[in-house]
Structure 1
Amino acid sequence: MSANDPFARLPEAASFSVTSTTVADGGVWPPEQFSSGVPGGKDLSPQLSWSGAPEGTKSYAVTVYDPDAPTGSGFWHWAVADIPAEVTELPEGAGDDTGSALPEAAFQLPNDARAARYIGAAPPVGHGPHRYFVVVHALDVASIGVPADATPALLGFTMTGHILGRAVLIATAETAA
């Protein structure tokens, strides 16, 4: 991890694998994963599959974060908590308004737009490419214990002492003029 990596300052964690049929690690977000406010955008969360989580994993959390947003604090696009340990995949679109494609125990926290759903990429026009860190966190607890209206930052803070492993996929997006 480099100093330019928002996860570099967090405690070390075992690495495991996350893949997507929607976007490749190091690839560019497809138009459907952009915000509905961007031409062609559909606010469609990416398909994710993961494997090789550390022994002792009791649940997962998934986050999508843009550290390059011009906010001083980045922008959280999606946060899902309490995904049961036996679940190792989320279908494309699982982050819709209802979360109906999420496992029963899992729930979405409000993103930085304060919507409990996935909100797509929307870098400001002319701002250059933004990185989107799609992270699956393997946790040592079955429930992380944050309220459903918590922020993704509170989720991250609460998870810090419970992370056994971290799987990271990074995609980029840029909005043309």
Structure 2
Amino acid sequence: MGRKSLKEIRQKEIVKSFYLVAKREGLDKTSIAKVAEHLKINPSLIIHYFKSKQELEVALIEYILERYLQIYTSNGKINSTEKLLDLIDKLFSRKWNRLFDDGVFYSCYAHVFRNKKFQSKFKQLHDSLRSILKQSFMDAQKSEIIKLENIDNQTEIIFALLEGAYYYLGLVDDKKEYNIKVECYKQHVLEILQVIK
């Protein structure tokens, strides 16, 4: 494996700073100048790597994907019931919130309705997450932990449940209500997966 180029390292630093400024200021109020100020560099250096704010926003979607993949891949191959249950717990946990700010995520998401490039990038992001989830279920099935008749459809249903739960649970402040809903969703996922005991 080769070393990362200076360009890759610098671009990643800029995207991380863009994210931090967007988290603090809001995506719409974030500018190349504010990111440069945060990094204590000249704005022309950012423009050298990203020609516009829109290019930075597209790179931010890649950053979102990298962060979210951590939840899906942190356990490695799903070859035990414990690892499967841990994955499901993580998918419905508030750890998502620590990985990426909801305000920045949904501000980016709002762009899909106005910008085809954003729409395409967000679809790639979700397709990648769906694919990783499916691979986890395939690993579990090979290890005879679950029994799925149509892994594509069942993954699709579980992914939609996760996305809907993530959106809705972001609105729930009451911890007891939150936990009741999470347990309900997790139970439905386990029923769909037909976990072998």
TM-score tier, shorter chain, comes to: under 0.3
Q: Which has the higher helix share?
A: 2
Indicate the structure with greater strand content: 1
Which protein shows a greater Rg? 2
TM-score normalized by structure 1?
0.27
